[in-house]
Chains A and B, each alone.
Chain A
Amino acid sequence: MKLRTSHYLIFAFLAAFTYFYSKDGLVATSVLYTAIQFALPLALAAMVGVMCERTGVVNIGIEGTMLISAFTAFFAGAILKNTVQGMLVGVFTGAMMGLLLALMAVNWKMDQIIAGVILNILAAGITSFYYRQNYSIPSTLDPIDLPVVGAWPILGPVLSFHGPITYFGIFFILALWFALYKTSWGLRSRAVGEHPSSADTAGVSVTRLRYLNVTVAGAVGGLAGSYLALEAVGIFERGFTAGKGFTALAIMIFGRWNPLGALAAALFFGLTQAVTNQLMIDEVVEIPPQFINMLPYILTIVVLAISAGKVRPPAAEGIPYEKEKS
């Protein structure tokens, strides 16, 4: 299903794009530009899932990680009057959330679903309790005009002029793919997620790798949260992440726990949303906005229904590792 479906999708996309580009080039490229913006937080959040689950820890606390990181990033940026410092605070917050999950899931061998729920409730509680109005950050992170790429026809305006987190995020996803499949860290991480006792008996510390990966993944979640608050929107509201952390889990599954697969799935989600937005703006179709807002969730259900039974999660995910039982 993998090859054929994706081939059809790419073909359909190219056909549709060519048609719209011939009608109105500016709008067509701007839709693609927006698609990347919608896709990036989803893709980064999906990386959190990939990193955790590949080493055998289920993380349903991505939503909470992003929410609280967006919160700290925004208010730190506003108080320090420095957006970059705000971002660093956001990333650090995410790492702490990862560390907390590792503590619960790896050390205390808690049920990982419950541990994730704790992260989400914690984040929702803290961010709404301490939320204050009338704060603002000096500016959003400045977009970067890519030197050569920016001058390309068609693709130039799509790829250029995104913010720094976007470019770093895409670079990170590619690097994660390479690391996961080509480095010894990746081999060991995957082994720990599939069959931890094999890794243990080969002298690889299951605990250490899980701690490392879950914590770093948390930092990536922090980056995704910072992106929303500091690069994409520039504000913070209660319940700001709006389920993106959960959608990311669906994207991770659709992408078969593969960073590139998840990136492609996230772009597909982003494109769908960008197109619907454009249709609304153009008033081509009259749909109540509530239905538009439902779209990511409906898409998630459809995607999961398609993937169900065809994908194979890491075998050891969700199971705390007990050394003496090996």
Chain B
Amino acid sequence: MKTLLEIEGVSKSFGSVIANEDISLTVREGEILALLGENGAGKSTLVKAVFGLVKPDSGTIKINGTVMESGDTAAAIASGVGMVHQHFQLVPVMSVTENLILGDEPKRFGVVNITQARKEALALSEKYGLEVDADAIIEDLPVGMAQRVEILKALRRDVKLLILDEPTAVLTPQETDELLEVLRNLAKRGVGILFITHKLREVMAVADRIAVLRGGKLMGTTTPKESSESKLAQMMVGREVVLRVEKSQAKPKEVLLSIKNLRVSDDRKLESVKDLSLEVHAGEILGIAGVEGNGQRELVEAICSMRSRLSGEVIVKGQGIPNLNPRAAHLAGVSHIPEDREKHGLVTSYSIADNLVLNRFDQAPFARGWIRNLEEVASNGESLVEKFDIRAPDAYLSAGSLSGGNKQKVVVARELSQQLDVVVAAQPTRGVDVGSIEFIHNQLIAARDAGAAVLLVSAELDEILSLADRIAVISNGKIVAIFNSKEADRNTIGRLMAGLAS
């Protein structure tokens, strides 16, 4: 097998932060190399250097034996490098076809031949077995579909080396499985694949070789056969990581959160939560298992009073929560770890310390009357940064500059560092590295043990199975079954999630 990519001694730092330090790696034809590492380990920087989006400070990158000029994206593309970015590089208002041809349009005298472009798009999608609607507008597509377009866009340029930057972070388990299958097929055709992830299961399932980065350094390469999930986790984090959640027996007490006959509609005004009733007790974690898009988002937003309820009640500690008043929900004792931390969890341009008091900045001790008590905000910030292991030089850095896992820790720190009654955690570990997942899980269990009623919504069935004391399966806006976690069986739940009667 020919060597496609050679990275030799690449280093890159941003100010005082060292992102990559003397990294050397190779990728051969038809090989899937998984690049594993925690958030902030330097994986994205490394692949961006390969693709010419980042100029390394030193070191060389060779593609097919040719040394690439650093920071030249067009040259990288020309020599057969394709990249699927973590944040999709697609123009939302344009069609699939337009996105596919952008930058290399079939044209005559500068006029784009859209008929031919469409034909090309269809031929491409057929060739690789990636079905897409060539005329669909990107912003109307579900995430998994948009990602297909992103992959096709890379493949269209006759790709020899395909780089995927955390492609599964935004996918549902089903979409992930489909993607892994696509990657295997591409490798069989001789495409070299460099695949960034921090999900160990995927690495073990699909990689030929595994390279582990930690703190900008290459910790070593291995193969799935020679390794195991726990060994990899240890290499990534630098200490032993407990992958299985350890928790004591739940001691459920009185009902803290009760939902009665709730009906909620989604953004398209379709009823997506249908007459749903549920009770969560103090001292238990109730996990909601379900395929994404079955009403979980609307359920969570209705509980937190961020979305209007068509009918039904949300009762916290015997007190009804008014409709569309998130503040009232918060004051009644609902802590919310939102699904989209960038949109609903943080003000990214504010400092970490300010973000840590977003929901109580106007209450004592963070304010005296109308005046904010900045000293108190600062000391609260510093203590939470330490207590919740938020990796930042100080608490005054803007929250937007943190990595995904650390952003999530800021949200978790804010929501779990107050008086806890009801905790609603939606996808609390999405796009978060192994070390942080362990930490967040332990925090949720600690909240439970402190007597909170925890409602956990997650698309990852494994997360539900390991954390929840009771599991409610949601399908098409209704709770179709509730299990005690000891009686829960993966297959049965999977079938119920898919809408099949058990």
Contact = CB atoms under 8 A, between A and B. Distances in A.
B15 to A, nearest CB: 12
A201 B112 contact: no
A183 B111 contact: yes
A182 B73 contact: no
Contacts of B101: 187
Contacts of A190: 91, 94
Main secondary structure of the interface of A (DSSP, over half): helix
A69 B99 CA distance: 38
Contacts of B111: 182-184
A191 B102 contact: yes
B47 to A, nearest CB: 12
Contact of B153 (A182, A186, A197, A202): A202
A200 B73 CA distance: 8
Given A194-B91, A194-B93, A188 B103 contact: yes
Contact of B98 (A187, A200, A201, A203): A187
B143 to A, nearest CB: 16
Contacts of A191: 91, 94, 102
Given A182-B111, A188-B102, A203 B92 contact: no
A201 B83 contact: yes
Interface in A61-79: none
A202 B103 CA distance: 5
Most buried by B among A184, A186, A202: A202
B391 interface: no
A257 to B, nearest CB: 11
B498 interface: no
A144 to B, nearest CB: 28
Given A182-B111, A187-B98, A199 B103 contact: yes
A195 B92 contact: yes
B89 interface: yes
A316 to B, nearest CB: 10
A90 to B, nearest CB: 28
B54 interface: yes
Contacts of A203: 73-74, 77, 103-104
A188 B102 CA distance: 7
Interface residues of A, number: 24
Interface in B352-397: none
Nearest to A178: B111
B110 interface: yes
B490 interface: no
Contact of A198 (B77, B89, B105, B112): B89
Given A182-B112, A324-B54, A204 B92 contact: no
Given A187-B112, A326-B85, A198 B53 contact: no
A232 interface: no
A303 interface: no
B349 to A, nearest CB: 14
Contacts of A197: 87, 89
A13 interface: no
A264 interface: no
B440 interface: no
Contacts of A198: 89-91, 99, 102
Interface in B46-67: 48, 51, 53-54
B107 interface: yes
B103 A183 contact: no
A20 interface: no
Interface of B: 48, 51, 53-54, 73-74, 77, 83, 85, 87, 89-94, 98-99, 101-105, 107, 110-112, 153
Given A188-B103, A326-B53, A326-B89, 10 more contacts: A184-B105, A191-B94, A195-B90, A198-B91, A199-B103, A201-B53, A201-B73, A202-B77, A202-B153, A324-B53
16 contacts: A183-B112, A195-B89, A197-B89, A200-B53, A201-B83, A202-B89, A202-B104, A202-B153, A203-B103, A203-B104, A204-B102, A312-B93, A323-B53, A324-B53, A326-B87, A326-B89
